[in-house]
Amino acid sequence: MKKYSLFFSMLLIAALLFSAGISEEAQFNDPTNAAYLEHYFQIKLSSASLDAAQFGSALTAITGKSVSLKANSDIFKALVVAADLSQLALTYSNKKAMERLSYYGISEAIPAEVQRYVACALDANLLPASIAKNLLSSSYVDNETAANLLMSVANATGASRNYIGKVSDSDILMRISNAFDGYTLFTDGNLDEIGAITVQQRASTGYNLKKDADDARFLTYRTIQYGHSDETHLKQLTVLLNSEGIDAKLQIEPKVSIYEYLLDWGPVPAPSDYYRVLEFGENFYLAYAVEYDAKFEFASHEDLLKFDAIINTYAKKNDANQAKDSKTALLKGAWWQPLYSTTFQADSKTYTEIVDCVLEENGYSIHPFSLLENKQKLINTLQSLSSVLVQERTLFVNNAFHRYLTGADYQ
């Protein structure tokens, strides 16, 4: 019995190591890496393979520092240096480096001066062991591996996507909770003043204030931006997407939503860290509310297209599902007019074009939306109030929110 127990224990360990290797390689081999490099770094890997020198040139575009390589074995040191881990690598003794390489199943003959960099790169998860073996035995880098290695460095240095996790992550609810713990009202004096005057002059009904540091830096053609104010709503939506078999990278971009507060709504409430009302003129008040834009970068275009139907089914109020006899179940915090948008036309039946008239300054930006027919008045007002250039950014919003902007229909 002991022999059988030992045998099955060894099988279990082998299976766990094998599954861990698959998971590591799956994370490394993101099929969108080449597109991301071209979109954000203008790196186009057109040839089937690259030699070390060509890979060095591409790495220069990621790091902004000159990288000169002669052989594939030089790539390991270049990766470690680019990830700012060179001092750590120097602490690896020959004995430790060989032990770490043995741990990863690498028995190839490696020059002593290279061993520590290979081991350090593996420990830092800059590449999986299978790729390290291929690099050590080859004189070139195939373009898929090159794209994955370059993105690995971009990820390690914070130059790529900025997100809290994936919809399918087992701890995504905890990550959402932790993110919301840090959200409070924030301000940028100059842009806030410009935005307030714009609303006061009726060139806009309101605007959002955001921080550049929270930008998701997602692939635009796979991304939907979903605006809301309720933490629980986002948690439920995330689990709902997962239950529908839809995976996506998720970033929460906190924002302050500013809009006119009407005294008809009741007395001005006491201020808090998340909501306050300020008086800007006689009988003119602005409300400042902490909200967020949840950005989803979907695994496929097909999944992105499914989002609209999911929101309309589970997260949008209408007369029918709000009737007394309705048995329709909706997510907590469902809105009459949900707001979600893309920066490209994903489906002309689902999304309608508007304009986001953006002002950026000192790491902050304001975002007043406008219908196409009203944009020039808004642009002229913004430009008259500031020397900051107005950036016209095309948005395609869901039909319900477009109806809200036009005032055509409350639902």
For the stretch 240-249, pLDDT in tens is: 999 999 999 9
Report how far residue 240's alpha carbon sits from residue 267's, in angstroms, rounded to the nearest whole number: 37
pLDDT at 16: 45
Does 126 lie in the same domain as 24?
no
pLDDT at 411: 74
Closest by Cα among 153, 141, 161, 131 to 26: 131
| Mean of the per-residue pLDDT values of the chain | 92
Does 130 lie in the same domain as 97?
yes
Q: Specify the residue for token string 């080449």.
A: 34
Amino acid (1-letter code) at residue 378: L
Does 234 lie in the same domain as 380?
yes
Q: Specify the residue for token string 């020959």.
A: 94
Which of 14-18, 55-59, 316-320, 362-366 bottoms out in mean pLDDT, i.e. has the lowest? Answer: 14-18
Each as own residue / partner, the long-range contacts of residues 270-275 (CB below 8 Å, 24 or more positions apart, any chain) are: 273/184, 273/185, 274/183, 274/184, 274/185, 275/185
Residue 143's pLDDT band (boundaries 50, 70, 90)?
very high
Domain count, the chain: 3
Q: pLDDT above 90 covers what percent of the chain?
A: 87
Q: Is the pLDDT of residue 6 over 70?
A: no
Does 354 lie in the same domain as 284?
yes
- Establish if 411 belongs to a structural domain: no
Q: What element of type H or E holds 341?
A: strand 339-342
Q: Is the pLDDT of residue 4 over 60?
A: no
Report field, pTM of the whole predicted structure over 0.85 = yes
Residue 23's pLDDT band (boundaries 50, 70, 90)?
low
Residue 323's pLDDT band (boundaries 50, 70, 90)?
very high
Residue partners of 82: CB distance under 8 A and separation at least 6: 59, 62, 63, 65, 67, 153, 156, 157
Does 174 lie in the same domain as 132?
no
Q: What element of type H or E holds 278?
A: strand 275-281
- Max mean pLDDT among 10-14, 97-101, 266-270 falls in 97-101
The string of pLDDT tens digits covering residues 108-141 is 889 999 999 999 999 999 999 999 999 999 999 9
pLDDT at 20: 46
Does 361 lie in the same domain as 315?
yes
DSSP H helices, 325-398, are 375-385
pLDDT at 189: 82
Which domain, by its residues, includes 280? 165-406
The string of pLDDT tens digits covering residues 86-114 is 999 999 999 999 999 999 999 888 999 99
Contact at 8 Å (CB) between 256 and 209? yes
- Establish if 350 belongs to a structural domain: yes
Q: Is the pLDDT of residue 14 over 70?
A: no
Contact at 8 Å (CB) between 256 and 291? yes
Q: Which whole number is the average pLDDT over 151-175?
A: 97
Contact at 8 Å (CB) between 209 and 364? yes
Does 181 lie in the same domain as 43?
no
**How far does CA 47 lie from the centroid of its chain?**
29
Does 239 lie in the same domain as 139?
no
Closest by Cα among 287, 279, 259 to 368: 259
Q: Which whole number is the average pLDDT over 373-387?
A: 95
